[in-house]
Chains A and B, each alone.
Chain A
Amino acid sequence: MHRTRVRVVEEALDANNTIAQANRADFDRAGVTVVNFMSAPGAGKTTLLERVAANLPGVRVGVLEGDVQGSLDADRLAGLHVPVTQLNTDPGFGGECHLDANMVRSALPDLPLSEIDLLVVENVGNLVCPAEFRIGEDVRVMVSSVTEGEDKPLKYPLMFRTCDLVLVNKIDLLPHLDYDVEKFLYHLDHVHPDVRRIMVSARTGEGIDAWREWLAETAARAPAVV
């Protein structure tokens, strides 16, 4: 008996990436642009979606709701009359802290891809793991609310570095907080120089038009259905 070394050199998350590519191919074929929508818990993802989902001129929006438990967010969005599909990461108590490509793949048969142009996948609230797992998205959007503090880009660099848009939410609360916007932007600039950012308040509606326009432009860049 002797031992030999076998050269491998394969990405450890290769299995996830392969499925993510298959998801992306299916979305492309259907002409659907996919947004991976991420943030810490309670940053305001669902409210920011409520603000724009039913009101994107010329863009038919669908939502895939990822949650550890329950359908509270999906129920909220259902009132907007856009197709919402629930994806729980565990049917019991507990469950995964992020969506991966395989979970999204399992939801594909339930998605009305022929009836939508833009699919927003609301990921599980978490700034760590969702950043590591591609799900087949075209773009990544993250929400960072001002109640979370200015240091978050430095603490969760992969999340901030790999997103295409940062929504800085709850700016209506700024008069009541010690939060320093300039400091946050300085940290953001370290981790992801020149990344597009929009200051918003889901509560008052400030900045929501810019968020809506960004989404509409992103959907318009979608590959045409062949």
Chain B
Amino acid sequence: MVNTAVKHAAGRRVTVVSLRVGRLRQVVPDTLDFYFGFVARDTVCEGARLEMEVVDAALRCNGCGHEWAIEIPAFRCPACAGSDVAVAAGDEFEVESIEVEETACIAHG
């Protein structure tokens, strides 16, 4: 995660790392935040704030096309009782964007 941010920062100082974390992933936000601080040390991400957007879980039945949201881990289609079900949302664990500091002396373009 830090490596990804460092790569896209291209030497610029990173002030915010924004993540999208799906509810189906086993990510503990407080723990992630805590260890991010350690891993970011001595990189351009040192001191950066971690923002997390939590994405609710949604499923889509490949059999009948029904789409629905889930709050508990129930993966059988409630419409057709099919088991060929895909995760439409909630599986994300991605670095969505970073915020970097641009110094005025660097030409844009």
Contact = CB atoms under 8 A, between A and B. Distances in A.
Interface in B1-55: 1, 3-5, 8-9, 15, 19, 24-26
A183 to B, nearest CB: 15
A11 to B, nearest CB: 5
A215 B2 CA distance: 39
Q: Chain B's interface: helix, strand, loop or mixed, by majority? A: mixed
A128 B26 contact: yes
B94 A194 contact: no
A14 B1 CA distance: 8
Contacts of A129: 26
A132 interface: yes
B69 to A, nearest CB: 15
A9 B99 contact: no
Nearest to A189: B76
Interface in A3-19: 3-15
A205 interface: no
A6 B100 contact: yes
B96 A8 contact: yes
A194 to B, nearest CB: 4
A9 B96 contact: yes
Contacts of B109: none
A193 B85 contact: yes
A59 to B, nearest CB: 29
Interface string A111-138: 0000000000000000011011000000
A8 B100 contact: no
B57 to A, nearest CB: 10
Nearest to B76: A193
B95 A158 contact: no
Interface in A145-196: 153-154, 157-158, 161, 189-194
A158 B19 contact: no
Contact of B73 (A8, A132, A191): A191
Given A132-B25, A132-B26, A190-B73, A12 B99 contact: no
A58 B17 CA distance: 52
B73 A3 contact: no
A161 B75 contact: yes
Contact of A6 (B3, B9, B103): B9
Interface of B: 1, 3-5, 8-9, 15, 19, 24-26, 72-76, 82-83, 85, 93-104
Given A157-B73, A191-B73, 7 more contacts: A1-B103, A1-B104, A3-B102, A5-B97, A8-B97, A11-B94, A153-B73
